[in-house]
Structure 1
Amino acid sequence: MNKLKFLRYSLFLILITINIGCDQISKSMVRERLDYHEQIQLAGDHVLLTKVENTGAFLSLGDDFSPLAKTLLLNLLPAIAMLGLLFWLFQGRMRLGMALGICCIIGGGIGNIFDRVAYGSVTDFLYIHVGLFRTGIFNFADVSITFGALFIIALGIWKGRKV
């Protein structure tokens, strides 16, 4: 492996690790310091911290699935997707911008999968409300996944070609 490829792959692993680390540290702090549904206002009522254990996926979708369906659709399928993205990432054929977006998606995905396997749910804790804009309750992994996806889309629009 040449030096440039080693540096590139090291950057990918560092970025993925930082994403997982920030996600897990923030969730650990919330689990230890907030009671379930306790609310802490950060910017008036525009940004709230509140602890929710989500047994489903985004916006609690799948919360009412059977245990087998949850295992398959919320643990196994995302784990296979993360492995596929990792394999694709380390093929070395994508542009750096695309790779950085993929790293964010992988880091966030692994963070949420880890929670589901280790705790049986994903700890969500951030809520934003500004004017008509309101979010569901989310976590750092969700931010990472969303940022990665939007970054890839923006690159595609900005470059006007395949990213």
Structure 2
Amino acid sequence: MKIKMILILLVFLPLIGCDRYTKVQAVNLLKGQEPISFLDGFFSLTYHENTGAMLSFGAKFPDEVRLMVFTVLVGLVLVIGLIYLMIKPMNKYSFTVGLLILAGGFGNLYDRALNDGRVVDFMLLQLGPLQTGVFNVADVAIMAGVFGFLFISSKLGKRLT
């Protein structure tokens, strides 16, 4: 339990704080401005509010449905997930990837609660005609957790952990 508390203090809470800070900065510095491009357009900072989930899935749902799915249901799943992580015996790698996913989820949930169901996104990657959707730090944490989970679930990951 001690290692779990240390990881919560070193991974979970700082990620939520970093996500919150960067979203506040995006609102203050990017909202209403033209995108700022770096590395010949590979990386851009641009303000976007997402009422849906990844790649705006569900953005066109009625307001009541979006509230129930993306705030109430997601909030319930996140709380259950955190309780599960805390009581289930697991190695520090599995616990950490779980924390990454939950920290991202809680970061976006907190944003929805503050912004009338919207999440602030502000980063975009583009390579020629290929581009990501606009995303934020919470989304990066979620994706890092998912890739970490896939790795530790692989044969190589199982040998290393």
TM-score by length of 1: 0.90
Q: How does 1:141-160 map to 2 (within 5 A)?
A: 141-157=138-154, 158-160=156-158
Partners in 2 of 1:116 and 1:107 — Cα distance?
A: 14
1:65 aligns with 2:90: no
Partner of 1:136: 133
TM-score by length of 2: 0.91
1:43 aligns with 2:45: no
Partners in 2 of 1:105 and 1:159 — Cα distance?
A: 18
Partners in 2 of 1:117 and 1:125 — Cα distance?
A: 18
Query: Residue 51 of structure 1 aligns to a residue in which SS?
Result: strand
1:21 aligns with 2:7: no
The residue type equivalent to 1:116 in the other structure is R
Moved more, 139-148 or 151-160: 151-160
The residue type equivalent to 1:8 in the other structure is K
Q: What displacement does 1:42 show? A: 1.8
Structure 1: runs of 5+ lacking an equivalent: none
Say if 2:36 and 2:46, in contact at 8 Å, map to a contact too: yes
Query: Residue 142 of structure 1 aligns to a residue in which SS?
Result: helix
Segments of 4+ moved more than 3 angstroms:
none
Partner of 1:122: 119
Query: Residue 125 of structure 1 aligns to a residue in which SS?
Result: strand
Partners in 2 of 1:35 and 1:118 — Cα distance?
A: 16
Say if 2:111 and 2:119, in contact at 8 Å, map to a contact too: yes
Say if 2:4 and 2:86, in contact at 8 Å, map to a contact too: no
Query: How many residue pairs align between the two structures?
Result: 158
Provide the identity percentage: 29
Query: Residue 126 of structure 2 aligns to a residue in which SS?
Result: strand
